Structure 1
Amino acid sequence: MTTAPRPPGGTVRLTTAQALVRFLAHQYVERDGERHRFVTACWGIFGHGNVAGIGQALLEAGSEGPDAMPFLQGRNEQSMVHAAVGYTRQRDRLAVHAVTTSIGPGATNLVTGAALATVNRLPVLLLPGDVFATRPADPVLQQIEVPWAGDVSVNDALRPVCRYFDRIWRPEMLVQAALRAMRVLTDPVETGAVALALPQDVQAEAHDWPAEFLADRVWQVRRPYPEPGEIARAAELVRAARRPLVVAGGGVHHSGAEAQLHALAESTGIPVAETQAGRGALPWDAPGALGGIGHTGTAAAAAAAREADLVIGVGTRWTDFTTASGTAFPAPGVRFVNINVCPADAHKLAGHTVVADARTALDQLTRALAGYQADEGHVRARREDADRWRRAVDEAFDAPDGDARPTQAQLLGVLDEVLDSRDVVVNAAGSLPADLHKLWRPRDRRQYHVEYGFSCMGYEIPAALGVRLAAPDREVFALVGDGTYLMLPTELVTAVQEGVKIVVVLVQNHGYASIGALSDEVGGERFGTAYRFRGADGAYTGAPLPVDLAANMRSLGLDVLRADTVDGLREALRAARAADGPTAVYVETAPARQDLSALRAHAWWEVAVAQTSARPAAREARQRYEEAKRRQRDHL
């Protein structure tokens, strides 16, 4: 961290809230010699816990001049965090939004969004109001009473889901708390949600602040270099391997290491598979690209994983979806090399660690492997698998009957046809993440935006808004199922209010389709997963609910285009892309008509199944579960 030239010594008299807003307006980050303002706006919903403090401070800051902090009016506290997360991911974590709420339900609504940010290692600053520090009346409105702890409020629910938490009981506490918050937000390893809980009386209290605290401050975003010995050992392991495989995770994008990954794959021939967060690390048609890996991945990547004797993980957390719950890499003696800026992730799967920034580590590893080529037979087999996968995608995308209702795969095919390479696709939950991971053809490093660390229903619409705010020159498409839409449609109103163009593609399939399929697999018989009236048997087996979500979106201010056929979908998507304001395309999909088995990884995912049951479906599912469990292994 460095500071710019500072004003003369002395103090400035401001309220705590005014000082915090001014401090945030003067924070910058620098990486690779490029400097960016870090906190570029503040989302807010006001209540008695923040309206007279942070609210007044944001009003006073205005929108111009060196102390400005632009304000964005949200409709739901959780969705404001999702919008902030979409924004910072698109900005490669080099710029963030703050989010302010009142105490009580406004603050507790932050918890889901904070967990999503922290799981995905994405920075967001939360500024919830809090109880009175001076306790003039106790309890106050929306205060939870804890008889055994007078200093606990609902904001303590944020502690487990934040990377840093502090409560500002006195104005003078802000100086150290704000600096510590910035350290965490700008740290590539520690980053995630940060919460500064602000008692409402402290927000409004005046204090004499050191002028230096309010001066421009620059935080260096580090690129840690690997230890030479770690690179040397990694290169030794690669050279000794016959069937190496690279698994690219989200850290490739955060580091901006796509070109270095491409150079490694091109010079060595080592094939590359991608996690959900890492999708797009290579162009989809690059010679070594195998597409997504793991439970939702491609058959090509799964075949490479089964045969790999060395796996090089780059910026991945090795979640159960990636490892197929410990069954994806069964080759005897398989070893792992983990390149990761976070030591905890680098040590997973008993891997050889390269604790470093992905860009610097890949660059040095490529140099250490000069002259090395992966086994010719291995490279040829993997590229033949990739060619079969691409042909299978072509078949899945093909829609010869333009008058028919599109399948979900055909919907993605039409979208692939209509979108430009710089357009962004946003998704998080339902059956779409699996189809996107297998089928989508990323043509730009930031085209594929699927949040699968937390897989949070309701993320897509607010995140799309955040992405468009971060990249106003890109068209942004939020792919949303009906179940997800009903969770959090509220920020459509914000998009309309602010004139922020996003396109919502709403897929109507009458319920929770992905969980319905999972329920079938694990003996749950699709119980409670369909949006239907109750039938004569008392279960949800009646007619589909007469819900018109297209009309609902129209009532919120969007232009809505209905698409009933493949040709109609193509026309609607083109019109939506060319529109000037927020637009929705409403489409009801048909069941898949093609055999997509050539695309599927057929990789397991562990979901515990009832050990005893009176129902045959559960007993059969338990048998399949126990067979799969026998394939699990620890990598030691």
Structure 2
Amino acid sequence: METIRLTMSQALVNFLDNQYIEVDGQVYKFVKGVMGIFGHGNVTGIGEALEQHTGELQFIQGKNEQGMVHAASAFAKQNNRLQIFACTTSIGPGALNMVTAAATATVNRIPVLLLPGDNFACRQPDPVLQQIENPSDYTISATDAFKPVSKYWDRIVRPEQLMTAALNAMRVLTDPADTGAVTLVLPQDVQCESYDYPVEFFRKRVHSVQRRAAASATLKAAVDLIASKKKPLIIAGGGVHYALAENELAHFAETFGIPVGETQAGKSALPWNHPLNAGAIGATGTLMANILAKDADLVIGIGTRFSDFTTASKSAFQNQDVQFISINVNAMDTVKLNAFGVQADAKEALSALHAALSQLDYKTTYEPGYMQSLKETWDGEVDRLYAMELEEGLSQTRVLGEINRWMDDSSVIVCAAGSLPGDLHRLWRSVQPKTYHMEYGFSCMGYEVSGAFGVKLAEPSREVYAMVGDGSYLMLHSELVTSMQEGYKINVLLFDNHGYQCIHNLQRAHGSEGFGNEFRYRSEDTGSAKGPYMPMDFAAQARGMGAKTYTVTTIAELHEALEMARKETVSTLIDIKVLPGTNTSGYESWWRVGVAEVSTSPKVRQAFENMQTEVAQSKERGLWAN
């Protein structure tokens, strides 16, 4: 057997550079490169390997460990999970900074490979700088924190262990049903130890993704169930995009006259103006989609996790005869809501169901013009919100409307947290697939700027816009610098509304007067945190990092800034001053949060009673335990 002597890190880098993925006969290079921040725990190991590597892997220097993993996740998501970046850090705080982003990737089922350094396996110099010592279990280190947020975790304490660990990592990273964060923990001494690796380990390896077809008996039962229903509703999730099934979805809906509601991850699977696109569903849903959900006698979930926002905490479906079908490659998702599960690839399942239902001449029984009427009503409401003028300043919905009308159909928006996801889910009018990039599985504040950089890496020819609130921007915006360093222009549209207004609104909706969520000075008179708003010059801050910046307080200034930003060749930031509380809410939706059962506030007590009523109604519909 032919071998080559390499350090474990050198072997890992060479292995990653030779991994490919195949879908529908097309082969893609799976690992685009490595993002990293070096410290004493990885710079002389994997850092040396990357420095000396002569292959095709691209190295990108991160500025914040969490931020660079968000960028890697966004890159993989925008590429429909067909290409990834690995991320490496030192031990201790550098590694732990990646944990939040690891959870974000795993919740959203996005493949990302994490390579944190770790304590010395030999223990000779222990305790080293940044080492956590557990007096009851000395094998525990900071990197054990990745276990609950990783789909696969391994610590490589001998260089030859890399071979099984790396293959298992690829198994999970390329698995459409069970992907997420994969963590290979690399003790800093083992990174530098050598071994005679078989040359075969470094051959080009193509991981074939098999589209899973539904079992014949399962398919027949699903067809029978659909055929027995009069008013079905489709809920399109992110799995539609990942399965490249947008055309199959449109064909299926059009043939049988079934309206389609969209989750945050599924949005843009159909153009907004498609006559059967009911828009956003659930707690951040449209009036059209939520009315259809209440009356539906069958809900067909396609590639969705049926999260609480999608189901409006299981209150969205109120027909006493409603049943559910869940089409998903992930078995866990097929049993939610007591659904009839179809474990299958979305594209395969839609094609098979279409063929079988066509033979039955199946059609829904929605009244002629009903869908059009609902859609016209909702489009009118969006037009109203997009045109909303206030004497005091800019409303958030008006700003979104102006941006939406101005933006090219091929441009991509990126968002994750705050009040913007609700407004964008309801109001944003996407025309082309993959132009709406929302991280809402974890709704991780700070994803937006990093995510925009990752999307731009994935699709350099597109204009990419991070839509971010001031609170989320303050939490994490470091990869704005990386975008300029690497020459990948992104645009940050910063909505400055003086704090965490989404949660401020949630407080007030449940009896609070508002506490701890606005960026205010402490009052000199009362000592409370309800003094004047803090004036923030985000444009000046970003300008100091090298971005081109603009400040907007009027619609005319917004138009001018957008045009100027489009012409720039470096990353831009537009600081948009919007009025707090000018976001959307309601539209036949409900979302369950915990409300104090005992309080001195009459408003809180009333909010608790209202919540109990909604919970009781949810139980009566039989969806409580599912």
Name the residue aligned to 2:68: 80
Name the residue aligned to 2:463: 475
Q: Give the structure-1-normalised TM-score.
A: 0.95
Output the CA distance in 1 between the equivalents of 2:367 and 2:220. 23
The answer as to 2:606 corresponding to 1:620 is: yes
Three-state SS of the structure 2 residue aligned to 1:52 is coil
Three-state SS of the structure 2 residue aligned to 1:571 is helix
- The one-letter code of the counterpart of 1:552 is Q
Name the residue aligned to 1:435: 423
1:473-511 Cα distance to aligned partner (Å, 9 max, x none): 110000011100100011111111111100000110000
1:546-595 Cα distance to aligned partner (Å, 9 max, x none): 3321111111110001221112112211221222110111110135779x
- The one-letter code of the counterpart of 2:248 is Q
Alignment of 1:173-184 (within 5 A): 173-184=161-172
- The one-letter code of the counterpart of 2:498 is H
1:380 Cα offset (Å) = 3.4
Q: Is the 8 A contact 1:273 1:293 kept in 2?
A: yes
Name the residue aligned to 1:318: 306
Q: Is the 8 A contact 1:122 1:193 kept in 2?
A: yes
- The one-letter code of the counterpart of 2:241 is H
Name the residue aligned to 1:604: 590
Alignment of 1:370-519 (within 5 A): 370=358, 372-378=361-367, 380-398=369-387, 405-519=393-507
- The one-letter code of the counterpart of 1:607 is V
- The one-letter code of the counterpart of 1:619 is R
- The one-letter code of the counterpart of 1:382 is M
Q: Is the 8 A contact 1:103 1:128 kept in 2?
A: yes
Output the CA distance in 2 between the equivalents of 1:354 and 1:92. 22
Pick from 562, 583, 591 the counterpart of residue 572 of structure 2.
583
Q: Is the 8 A contact 2:231 2:365 kept in 1?
A: no
Three-state SS of the structure 2 residue aligned to 1:377 is coil
1:542 Cα offset (Å) = 0.3
1:374 Cα offset (Å) = 3.5
1:400 Cα offset (Å) = 7.0
| Number of residue pairs aligned between Structure 1 and Structure 2 | 620
Output the CA distance in 2 between the equivalents of 1:378 and 1:358. 28
Q: Give the structure-2-normalised TM-score.
A: 0.97
Shift in alpha-carbon separation, 1:194–1:326, aligned structure 2, 3 A = same
Pick from 510, 529, 544 the counterpart of residue 533 of structure 2.
544
Shift in alpha-carbon separation, 1:379–1:365, aligned structure 2, 3 A = farther
Shift in alpha-carbon separation, 1:550–1:514, aligned structure 2, 3 A = same
Shift in alpha-carbon separation, 1:275–1:102, aligned structure 2, 3 A = same
Output the CA distance in 1 between the equivalents of 2:607 and 2:368. 37
Three-state SS of the structure 1 residue aligned to 2:397 is helix
Pick from 547, 564, 573 the counterpart of residue 558 of structure 1.
547
Output the CA distance in 2 between the equivalents of 1:582 and 1:198. 35
Output the CA distance in 2 between the equivalents of 1:225 and 1:161. 29
Shift in alpha-carbon separation, 1:71–1:451, aligned structure 2, 3 A = same
Per mean C-alpha deviation after superposition, the further-off stretch among 506-515 and 374-383 is: 374-383
Name the residue aligned to 1:4: none
Alignment of 1:121-200 (within 5 A): 121-200=109-188
Per mean C-alpha deviation after superposition, the further-off stretch among 621-630 and 38-47 is: 621-630
Output the CA distance in 1 between the equivalents of 2:366 and 2:235. 20
Name the residue aligned to 2:36: 44
Output the CA distance in 1 between the equivalents of 2:514 and 2:588. 21
Output the CA distance in 1 between the equivalents of 2:436 and 2:86. 24
Output the CA distance in 1 between the equivalents of 2:39 and 2:582. 51
Pick from 571, 595, 606 the counterpart of residue 560 of structure 2.
571
Paired-residue identity, %: 48
Pick from 2, 14, 17 the counterpart of residue 25 of structure 1.
17
1:22-53 Cα distance to aligned partner (Å, 9 max, x none): 00000000001110110101000000000000
1:525 Cα offset (Å) = 2.4
Three-state SS of the structure 2 residue aligned to 1:413 is helix
Three-state SS of the structure 2 residue aligned to 1:256 is coil
Shift in alpha-carbon separation, 1:400–1:141, aligned structure 2, 3 A = closer
Three-state SS of the structure 1 residue aligned to 2:39 is coil
Output the CA distance in 2 between the equivalents of 1:453 and 1:515. 17
1:339-361 Cα distance to aligned partner (Å, 9 max, x none): 10111101111111111000010
1:387 Cα offset (Å) = 1.6
Alignment of 1:266-345 (within 5 A): 266-345=254-333
Output the CA distance in 1 between the equivalents of 2:526 and 2:270. 51
- The one-letter code of the counterpart of 2:326 is N
1:396 Cα offset (Å) = 1.4
Q: Is the 8 A contact 2:278 2:288 kept in 1?
A: yes
Three-state SS of the structure 2 residue aligned to 1:631 is helix
1:523 Cα offset (Å) = 2.7
1:233 Cα offset (Å) = 1.3
The answer as to 2:84 corresponding to 1:92 is: no
1:65-113 Cα distance to aligned partner (Å, 9 max, x none): xx33210000100001100011001100000000000000000111100
Provide structure 1 residue ranges, at least 5 long, that are not aligned to the other structure.
Answer: 1-8
Output the CA distance in 2 between the equivalents of 1:286 and 1:71. 42
Output the CA distance in 1 between the equivalents of 2:605 and 2:582. 30
Per mean C-alpha deviation after superposition, the further-off stretch among 428-437 and 602-611 is: 602-611
Shift in alpha-carbon separation, 1:400–1:408, aligned structure 2, 3 A = closer
Name the residue aligned to 1:631: 617
1:615 Cα offset (Å) = 1.7
Output the CA distance in 2 between the equivalents of 1:50 and 1:524. 48
Output the CA distance in 1 between the equivalents of 2:141 and 2:569. 45
- The one-letter code of the counterpart of 1:563 is V
1:382 Cα offset (Å) = 3.0
Q: Is the 8 A contact 1:277 1:450 kept in 2?
A: yes
1:243 Cα offset (Å) = 1.1
Three-state SS of the structure 2 residue aligned to 1:245 is strand
Q: Is the 8 A contact 2:411 2:464 kept in 1?
A: yes
Q: Is the 8 A contact 1:405 1:566 kept in 2?
A: no
Three-state SS of the structure 1 residue aligned to 2:88 is strand
Shift in alpha-carbon separation, 1:520–1:309, aligned structure 2, 3 A = same
CA RMSD of aligned residues (A): 1.5
Name the residue aligned to 1:524: 512
Output the CA distance in 2 between the equivalents of 1:278 and 1:101. 32
1:385 Cα offset (Å) = 1.1
- The one-letter code of the counterpart of 1:41 is G
1:170 Cα offset (Å) = 0.2
Output the CA distance in 2 between the equivalents of 1:282 and 1:385. 17
Q: Is the 8 A contact 1:314 1:358 kept in 2?
A: yes
Q: Is the 8 A contact 1:418 1:574 kept in 2?
A: no
Pick from 28, 37, 59 the counterpart of residue 51 of structure 2.
59
Pick from 320, 329, 334 the counterpart of residue 346 of structure 1.
334
Provide structure 2 residue ranges, at least 5 long, that are not aligned to the other structure.
Answer: none
Pick from 233, 237, 251 the counterpart of residue 245 of structure 1.
233
Three-state SS of the structure 2 residue aligned to 1:632 is helix
